[in-house]
Structure 1
Amino acid sequence: MAARILVAKPGLDGHDRGAKIVARTLRDAGFEVIYTGIRQRIEDIASIAVQEDVAVVGLSILSGAHLALTARTIEALRAADAADIAVVVGGTIPHADVPKLLSTGAAAVFPTGTPLDVLVREIRALTGTRDPVVEEQCASE
């Protein structure tokens, strides 16, 4: 069974092209992806994550509020007894903020320009999943 990933746009940021590209990339890589759409409340993101039994919540943030929104998402998941759900964050994130996000509890950070294959590889590592194409090739050899 494919790992389930929630891609979410917290806060008032209305630009979702990057989030949609990430969602499609993860889907094409064999993950089951739930996309929340734009302008989601943190509490709703946590609730959806629990309801959909996801392994990872991916936050797409372009507004500059990545530190606060990531911390609040992690807190909301803990409050919902879902601290086992990994939170990753991507978007317009200064490289200087990456260590801060990781120390807050983010499992991975993907600043603008991160190659999509790196994103997929990191999500695979977090979820303990393998590439189905590689698995199929190995099985047929």
Structure 2
Amino acid sequence: MSTQKRILLAKMGLDCHDTGIVTVAQILRDAGYEVVYLGLHNDARQVIKVATEEDVDAIGISFLSGQHMTQVRRLLDEMRRSGLAVPVICGGIIPDEDARALREMGVAEVIPAGTLSAEVARRVAGSLAEPA
């Protein structure tokens, strides 16, 4: 049985900019995580379905489109309905005031675009150490 942590990474909504999340996937693999990359154009139910099927330890969602508040609210609501309790980590272009609001909604960590690789891995590890 593997003790390697599994993280689901996905893009939600109409956001089709995936360079950042693909880079984060590689950063996390290099840091020893097993990464399940769901790809582009997902909705909350798809993310929850795969997260449950893959038995992941965390969900990472990346945004560049400005849809982060709406999409994360939908994701967190769907997680509550389904009973899935894993940390949600958001990354990308998210204004500071929205990052605060996302944390208040229940997001474990918000990692801005341009964060150095070692810091991304450190912040993800910190999120996994905290209860969901």
Q: TM-score, normalised by structure 2?
A: 0.92
In structure 2, C-alpha distance between the alignment counterparts of 1:9 and 1:67, rounded to whole Å: 13
Superposed, which structure 2 residues align to 1:1-141 within 5 Å?
A: 1-82=3-84, 84-128=85-129
Aligned CA-pair RMSD: 1.0
In structure 2, C-alpha distance between the alignment counterparts of 1:35 and 1:79, rounded to whole Å: 23
Unaligned stretches of 5+ residues in structure 1 = 129-141
**Any conservation in 2 of the 1:95–1:111 contact (CA below 8 Å)?**
no
In structure 2, C-alpha distance between the alignment counterparts of 1:114 and 1:100, rounded to whole Å: 20
State the Cα distance separating 1:118 from its structure 2 match.
1.3
State the Cα distance separating 1:116 from its structure 2 match.
2.0
Residue identity over aligned pairs, in percent, reads 38
| 1:12 counterpart SS class | coil
Deviation sequence 1:50-80 (CA, Å, 0-9, x none): 1111111000111101111111111111111
Q: TM-score, normalised by structure 1?
A: 0.86
Deviation sequence 1:80-127 (CA, Å, 0-9, x none): 111x21101001111121110100110000122222211111111222
Unaligned stretches of 5+ residues in structure 2 = none
- Runs of 4+ with deviation above 4 angstroms: none
In structure 2, C-alpha distance between the alignment counterparts of 1:75 and 1:50, rounded to whole Å: 15
Larger Rg: 1
User: How many residues align structurally?
Assistant: 127
In structure 2, C-alpha distance between the alignment counterparts of 1:126 and 1:89, rounded to whole Å: 11
